[in-house]
Amino acid sequence: MTYDLRTTAQGQQAATVQEGLRQQLAYIRADKRLTDTGRRQQIAAVYLQAKNQLTALKNDESKKRTDQVNYLRRLLFGSAGTSDAQTAISYRDAQERVGVLGLEDQDKAAKLLDQAQLSGDDVMVKAIIQRALDLQWVDVANKYIETHAYYGEKLEELWHLDSESSEGIDTIGFINATVFHADKPGELSAYFDDNQLAGIAAGI
């Protein structure tokens, strides 16, 4: 359940921006009419434009993702906000009981989930799957997903959206770091500040 930024609408738009930048750079470099200064000016302009577009797409994707994660968390674990005092107390007690379980206690959590589902203790079930998400208990999450069609699908979506922080350094983690990135053209390697590049692009 790995979150791959390339599959998002913003990620796909970013790929289009990156490809457009590559094509523009190739055209500018092949234009024999340009002086070195003129070539550098045009390269700075298209690079900054692409970089700004990619930053905007990254921010948009991040906001949409955060909004959806917050929505799914409220949907799945929303008992904390109930106006029913007894339910709120039960939810807090369930969280405290489950909160003592550590990463190595997945088997205990799975048994507790079975007991809670058999007894119809929905508050405890919510507390357990929230802990499963926090500690990445895959077996517990799958047990819930297999027995709850609608909410199981929502938990799987939340796991998918919220998994990047726990991915560590792997192939997808590396790829995600490049989705909204534009490599600086070699012609601009001596410049490290975007304000400098903006000046070059403006012919200053």
pTM score above 0.75: yes
Residue 83, pLDDT score:
56
Rounded CA separation 113/40 (Å):
63
Q: What angle do CA 99, 149, 107 make, to 5 degrees?
A: 35
- Residue 180 CA, chain-centre distance (Å), reads 12
Question: Which sequence spans correspond to the domains of the chain?
Answer: 5-201
Q: Which amino acid is at 6?
A: R
Q: Are 171 and 6 in contact (CB under 8 A)?
A: no
pLDDT tens-digit readout, 78-125: 754 455 677 778 888 888 899 999 999 999 999 999 999 999 999 999
Interacting residues of 50 by C-beta distance below 8 A, sequence separation 6+: 17, 18, 20, 21, 182
Residue 12, pLDDT score:
95
What are phi and psi for residue 36, nearest 5 degrees?
A: -60, -40
Rounded CA separation 125/144 (Å):
9
Please tell me the number of Cα atoms within 13 Å of 86 on its side-chain side: 0
**Three-class SS state of 190:** coil
**What is the percent of the chain with per-residue pLDDT over 70, rounded to a whole number?**
90
Rounded CA separation 11/57 (Å):
8
Pick out the chain residues at pLDDT < 70: 1-2, 79-84, 163-174
